[in-house]
Structure 1
Amino acid sequence: MGSESVRSGKKRVPQIEDEVSSTSDIDSPLFNKRHFSTEDALWYDSPSPTEEAFTSSDIDPGHSATEEEIRFSQAISEGDIALAKALMDDEFDVKHFLMRDRNALYFTVNRRTPLYFAVGNGDVKMVKLLLDAGVDPIEKNTAPFGSVLAKSCYQGDIEIAELLIDAGSDVNLPLEAGNYGSALATACLATQITMIALLLKKGADINMQLISGEYGSALAAACSKGSLEAVTLLCEKGADVNQQLTCGMYGSALAAACSKLSLETVTLLYERGADVNQQLTCGIYGSALAEACWDQSPEIVDFLLKEGADINMQLTSGDFGSALAVACATGSLSIVKLLLERGADINMQLTSGRYGSALAVACISGSSKTVKLLLEKRADVNLQLISGKYGSALAAACTKWLLETVRLLLEKGADVNQQLTCGMYGSALAAACSNGSLKAVKLLLEKGADVNLQLTSGKYGSALATAISVASRGQLEVPKFLLSMGAKIDLQLKSGDFRSALAAAIGTRKLETISLLILERANVSLPLSSGNFGDAISSALHLNNFDIIKLLLEAGTCIGPLSEVLFRRSLKRFLPCVEDLEAVGVYFDKFSTERLGRTFIWDPPVVMSETQDNNTWLFDYGALVRKEDTVEFGALYRLIGESYGVMGLRVLQGLVRAASHHRKYRQYGQYSEFVGVHLRTVLSVFSQSMDT
């Protein structure tokens, strides 16, 4: 099936996807505005019959189709009323065909139903035929409109819309799918004035709060289109110009009008009582002025300011926090200059949003011209931010590989060792490490950054812990460089999620970085002064990661004075653990030879305790398996009981239980692979705890 052409004849515009090429792009303000598909980017609209010809390839392959069903679907899509009637006269049960399963045959690969085809083709006779046959007129969840009524409203098919409404289609049905939210909002967006009047006449709620879509209300949809006629009609019929919207990308009708760069629509709403300082509760920008700044309209910005818009209003929603921050995100020097000339506070500490200050936004956006302008206007390069994810303008620049901006800030006096009080990083150096920018790290160290600065905020606690935590596979240049520059590998950290670089490596489950730190002589038995765990091995036990436990044991880690309660809790988490059972078992033969002097063979279990019938649990958990693949559980049980007592027996029970629950080992009886290696690992830990 080919793509549908837009009924209005507009050129097809591909829908911009939310996915971007890199994580750095995701944080850029330029990617913050959600590029929803609108009527200008909508190629799903009404098809011609030839474009929409239904073929057997359109049938959902998960459902079988009879010849009559395929012929009926083709008749609908091609507008062949005679064939459809003939099939129905021949006792073809349309209602059963359509309603037998909401996800059955009649839902094609493109999520279109016969009624959708008929409505999309503007085929009044076919629509009437289907409705008379008992087809549900309230078909919904058909993207991108959300319902067949909404589709007819978008197309302006008055007769079809009346047929659907008279058959029971609800004009106030909240649409859970699609881009518009309601039939009335769809008609407003399509500027179908006659359809708007019809829906209002049929009882459409002009102020209905929408629960989905891009607009939030019918009035906002009309304003986003910039249709004076539609906006005027809605206002005359009682639309609330100050309605607080709860969904959509604008937050209010006035903000939606500002996005369309229509000064006439903005003026009309203002004359109808629209509040230019309304604090919005949803949307991307937070106010009408902020929206106008994003869309770079000097005329609308000037109009709003003249009518009393607060240029320094602290926004309570949206991504930016202030109108000036929004302008800086766009890189529009003319809008930034206009706001500064009108009194915008260049050093306002923002209380909401992702960035914290106008300068931080400019640094993130990558516009060196905007950064230079703000610095010329005396923006504080060392302003302590109180919101956002960066903490300072320098930290923001360091996360984006923007060396020119970093140098510019340093030249203007940015403190390379400033202790940040908010954000994810804690310092500019940690921010540079978070993005793996070796050049930025080198530049900061050349300018005097303290490689061992104890951070008081942020997620990681030090530059090295940050580099270790974010290092991807094979990308260890930054942590290696920090170590070469004197980073203390065993520095006890005072903040963050971890209390040492090794703890950070363990916490992020990265064997490569753990191995690097071990090679650099990290103390694998270092007792941690604070945090959730007292040492590295207890952290690994908590994570139930066999590979990390093995690596630490081989490096000679020692178990500290763990209480029996803590150790039992760790064992309880560890026993049913290991995710990759294919990788275990390599030590079983070595273990059996060293501890028993021979390879295990089958022997009836030996009862070691009067209170423990080990026959019961051994047989319950699959001890009777193929002889050549089994552990001699009796000898093993005796050995464990003699060496480790009741706790050791519980360990063995847990291992057998865990093995029995895994399909591969339950099926083939290869318990030795699972039990042997885990027993070796856990008892090594247990033995060390017994010795302390």
Structure 2
Amino acid sequence: TTVQAMAKNTENNILWPDKYGWIPLHEAAYYGQDQCVGVLLGAQPSMINKCDLKGQTALILAVYREKVACVEMLLEKGADPDVANKDRETPLYKACESGNAEIVVMLLNHGAVVNKHCIQGCTALQEAVSRNNVEICEILVQAGAKLSPTNMYGIAPLFTAAQSGHKETLRFLIKHGADINSEASDGATALYEAAKNGHKDIVELLLSQDADANKAGNKGLLPLHIAAQRGADSIVSLLIKVTSKFRVNRSGVSPLHLAAECNRDAVVEVLIEAGYDVNAMLSDDRSMMYEDHRSTTLYFAVANGNVEATTMLLEAGAIPNLDTFNPLLVALRQGSIELVTLLVEHGANVNAYVPTHPTSFPATLIFGMKYLSMLKYLMDNGCDALSCFSCTYGSGPHPPHQETSERDDLRYNTNTCRSTGEPVQFCEIISTRWAGPIIDVLLNYVGHVKLCSRLTEHLDSLKDWEVIKEKATQSRPLMQLCRLEIRQQVGIHRLRCIKKLPLPPRLIKYLNHDERNQENVL
């Protein structure tokens, strides 16, 4: 009655919008007042398709709120079922969004266009698929909905179903002939997206329908790659059976690389058992993506401090000396004695250098001398201590020394390299603060040496280090020289298994520089 009176009163113009652009018709439709809708339209039929500031008609509002009676009233009064909002979403699209099959049928019966695209390029079918509503999908297809329209990202409904893990709508689309190997704008397939999102049942369904596991995206990655990266070991197991190793090799990156990089240990194990090459190298262009130009799976595992993955890779035959920057250097820089031990025991080069930053001594010492126990371990396993005492300046003046204030700052700095291009020497990078203990350890692994003026200067800086200086300047004991000779004759590889050699226990202890037992030997 009130609305009727308002409609008759010319002073109350029912076409006047509020600050949102709503007129009374919008209010009535939004709140489901179908009788009020009828009265208002009886008074002013021309306002039926009037839009608010968001481009919404009364019909769109009624559909969005699932007010069936209002939708029916508006359609019967001549509302246009294809007037879209500012996002180009039609009433049919909004009905699919809310999942109301009754309203979908009603709109289609009143001539709604089924294949219109919203501002992002999606159709009503795409929206129904994203809601996993098979009933509405069937209604739309019967009304002529195209199975494979793509949105602005090149994504088709089947891709959406796989991406979202909607098995029911995926089955429906496959049954009606949707292209199972269609690609999005980035080259990804439905199988790739299902693997990426961990939908094992979707992967199984797609593979059962002969989905191509060897289609790579624009970045060159296969579904197996992304599954390995995401840690979906069960999906990896499925994809291994249908993925060509030739295609994997062409990609320039092994799924092992990606699994190790993301600490997916279970996937690393599955791939190793499947025979994937633990020594596969990144292609040059992919290696260049990393500042350190890493190449091997082992490097990724060590860089992450992942002991379990490192162990699996080494036991499977990973070679620890293939990268430009040796993984042993990474483990030493991390201070991980567990990783260092693993690598050395599997043949890592304790005398590794960095080709891009030449030194006159092994680069392993740069990081190893942060911890005396680590330094001693390197020496025990054949690291070249003698090179630390070889100095081109000898007893003459040295270039200015850049002192480090903290032990953790004892690291290889590219600024240390001289403009002459000559290799950096040990005495140029050692800190005065820690020189004594480091030199003391090194002296146990060399014969007669002569300290340069810089090392002498370091030892002179602290009275307690006088004994270390004397140790260097005096003739080395015969027992020390014998130890060095025996170690050289036995060889580094055999020394690593020295406990298995047919030698007296006291001699083994002496060869291992076990100073606590040295008196017993003497």
Instruction: Look up the match of 1:345.
Output: 113
Structure 1 residue 258: Cα displacement: 4.2
Instruction: Look up the match of 1:410.
Output: 174
Structure 1 residue 310: Cα displacement: 5.1
Structure 1's 598 and 446: CA in aligned 2 closer, same or farther, altered over 3 A?
A: closer
Q: 1:21-40 maps to which residues of 2 (within 5 A)?
A: none
Amino acid at match of 1:476: D
**Residue 182 of structure 2 contacts residue 190 of structure 2 at CA under 8 Å; is this kept in 1?**
yes
Structure 1 counterpart of 2:68, from 298, 302, 315 = 298
Q: 1:566-581 maps to which residues of 2 (within 5 A)?
A: none
Q: 1:600-679 maps to which residues of 2 (within 5 A)?
A: 610-611=398-399, 613=401, 616-617=404-405, 632-634=437-439
**Residue 48 of structure 2 contacts residue 74 of structure 2 at CA under 8 Å; is this kept in 1?**
no
Instruction: Look up the match of 2:101.
Output: 333
Structure 1 counterpart of 2:276, from 496, 521, 524 = 521
Structure 1's 333 and 588: CA in aligned 2 closer, same or farther, altered over 3 A?
A: closer
Amino acid at match of 2:50: V
Structure 2 counterpart of 1:468, from 224, 228, 235 = 228
Q: How many residues align?
A: 366
Structure 1 counterpart of 2:210, from 427, 448, 456 = 448
Structure 1 residue 379: Cα displacement: 1.9
**Residue 261 of structure 2 contacts residue 300 of structure 2 at CA under 8 Å; is this kept in 1?**
no
Amino acid at match of 1:545: N
Structure 1 residue 305: Cα displacement: 5.0
Amino acid at match of 1:408: F
Structure 2 counterpart of 1:488, from 245, 253, 268 = 245
Structure 1 residue 349: Cα displacement: 3.4
**Residue 331 of structure 2 contacts residue 339 of structure 2 at CA under 8 Å; is this kept in 1?**
no
- Aligned partners of 2:403, 2:375: CA distance in 1, in Å? 21
Structure 1 residue 440: Cα displacement: 2.7
Structure 1's 465 and 333: CA in aligned 2 closer, same or farther, altered over 3 A?
A: same
Instruction: Look up the match of 1:597.
Output: 380
Amino acid at match of 1:440: I
Instruction: Look up the match of 1:501.
Output: 255
1:323 is aligned to 2:91: yes
**Residue 364 of structure 1 contacts residue 397 of structure 1 at CA under 8 Å; is this kept in 2?**
yes
Structure 1 residue 593: Cα displacement: 4.8
Computed over aligned residues only, the root mean square deviation of the Cα atoms, in angstroms, reads 5.5
Amino acid at match of 1:262: Q
Structure 1 residue 515: Cα displacement: 4.3
Amino acid at match of 1:382: S
Amino acid at match of 2:157: A
Q: Deviations over 1:638-661 (max 9, x none)?
A: 99xxxxxxxxxxxxxxxxxxxxxx
1:477 is aligned to 2:234: yes
Amino acid at match of 2:338: V
Structure 1's 538 and 341: CA in aligned 2 closer, same or farther, altered over 3 A?
A: same
Q: 1:412-427 maps to which residues of 2 (within 5 A)?
A: 412-421=176-185, 426-427=188-189
- Aligned partners of 2:379, 2:92: CA distance in 1, in Å? 75
Q: Deviations over 1:326-384 (max 9, x none)?
A: 2123332221112222332222333328xx22222222322222121122222222223
**Secondary structure of residue in 1 paired with 2:188:** coil
- Aligned partners of 1:576, 1:241: CA distance in 2, in Å? 73
**Residue 25 of structure 2 contacts residue 37 of structure 2 at CA under 8 Å; is this kept in 1?**
yes
**Secondary structure of residue in 2 paired with 1:261:** coil
**Secondary structure of residue in 2 paired with 1:450:** coil
- Aligned partners of 1:517, 1:359: CA distance in 2, in Å? 39
Amino acid at match of 2:116: M
- Aligned partners of 1:615, 1:241: CA distance in 2, in Å? 76
**Residue 483 of structure 1 contacts residue 489 of structure 1 at CA under 8 Å; is this kept in 2?**
no
Instruction: Look up the match of 1:32.
Output: none
Instruction: Look up the match of 2:190.
Output: 428
Structure 1's 266 and 238: CA in aligned 2 closer, same or farther, altered over 3 A?
A: closer
Amino acid at match of 2:163: T
**Residue 376 of structure 2 contacts residue 441 of structure 2 at CA under 8 Å; is this kept in 1?**
no
Structure 1 residue 290: Cα displacement: 3.7
Amino acid at match of 1:378: G
Structure 1's 487 and 277: CA in aligned 2 closer, same or farther, altered over 3 A?
A: farther
Structure 1's 585 and 436: CA in aligned 2 closer, same or farther, altered over 3 A?
A: same
- Aligned partners of 1:631, 1:275: CA distance in 2, in Å? 89
Instruction: Look up the match of 1:128.
Output: none
1:358 is aligned to 2:140: no
Instruction: Look up the match of 2:369.
Output: none
- Aligned partners of 1:377, 1:553: CA distance in 2, in Å? 57
- Aligned partners of 1:418, 1:532: CA distance in 2, in Å? 29
Structure 1 residue 599: Cα displacement: 12
Instruction: Look up the match of 1:27.
Output: none
- Aligned partners of 2:238, 2:177: CA distance in 1, in Å? 25
Structure 1's 403 and 532: CA in aligned 2 closer, same or farther, altered over 3 A?
A: same
Structure 1 residue 478: Cα displacement: 0.9
Return the TM-score normalized by structure 1. Answer: 0.42
Greater shift in the superposed pair: 630-639 or 459-468: 630-639
Structure 1 residue 461: Cα displacement: 3.7
Structure 1 residue 481: Cα displacement: 0.9
Q: Deviations over 1:41-97 (max 9, x none)?
A: xxxxxxxxxxxxxxxxxxxxxxxxxxxxxxxxxxxxxxxxxxxxxxxxxxxxxxxxx
- Aligned partners of 1:513, 1:464: CA distance in 2, in Å? 11
Structure 1's 329 and 500: CA in aligned 2 closer, same or farther, altered over 3 A?
A: farther
Structure 2 counterpart of 1:280, from 28, 36, 54 = 54
Structure 1 residue 296: Cα displacement: 1.8
Query: Unpaired runs of 5+ in structure 1?
Result: 1-226, 246-250, 640-692
Q: 1:31-430 maps to which residues of 2 (within 5 A)?
A: 241=17, 243-244=19-20, 258-263=29-34, 276-278=50-52, 280=54, 289-305=59-75, 311-313=81-83, 315-317=85-87, 321-352=89-120, 356-387=122-153, 391-421=155-185, 426-430=188-192
**Residue 461 of structure 1 contacts residue 493 of structure 1 at CA under 8 Å; is this kept in 2?**
no
- Aligned partners of 2:265, 2:191: CA distance in 1, in Å? 24
Instruction: Look up the match of 2:304.
Output: 545
Structure 1 residue 485: Cα displacement: 2.5
Greater shift in the superposed pair: 406-415 or 508-517: 508-517
- Aligned partners of 1:415, 1:408: CA distance in 2, in Å? 12
**Secondary structure of residue in 2 paired with 1:391:** coil
Instruction: Look up the match of 1:556.
Output: 319
- Aligned partners of 2:196, 2:108: CA distance in 1, in Å? 33
Return the TM-score normalized by structure 2. Answer: 0.53
**Residue 256 of structure 2 contacts residue 276 of structure 2 at CA under 8 Å; is this kept in 1?**
no
Amino acid at match of 1:596: M
**Residue 302 of structure 2 contacts residue 310 of structure 2 at CA under 8 Å; is this kept in 1?**
no
Structure 1's 529 and 588: CA in aligned 2 closer, same or farther, altered over 3 A?
A: closer
- Aligned partners of 1:279, 1:539: CA distance in 2, in Å? 59
Structure 1 residue 413: Cα displacement: 1.0
Structure 1 residue 256: Cα displacement: 6.8
Structure 1's 616 and 351: CA in aligned 2 closer, same or farther, altered over 3 A?
A: closer
More helix by share: 2
Q: Deviations over 1:107-144 (max 9, x none)?
A: xxxxxxxxxxxxxxxxxxxxxxxxxxxxxxxxxxxxxx
Amino acid at match of 1:501: P
Structure 1 residue 482: Cα displacement: 0.7
Q: Percent identity?
A: 19
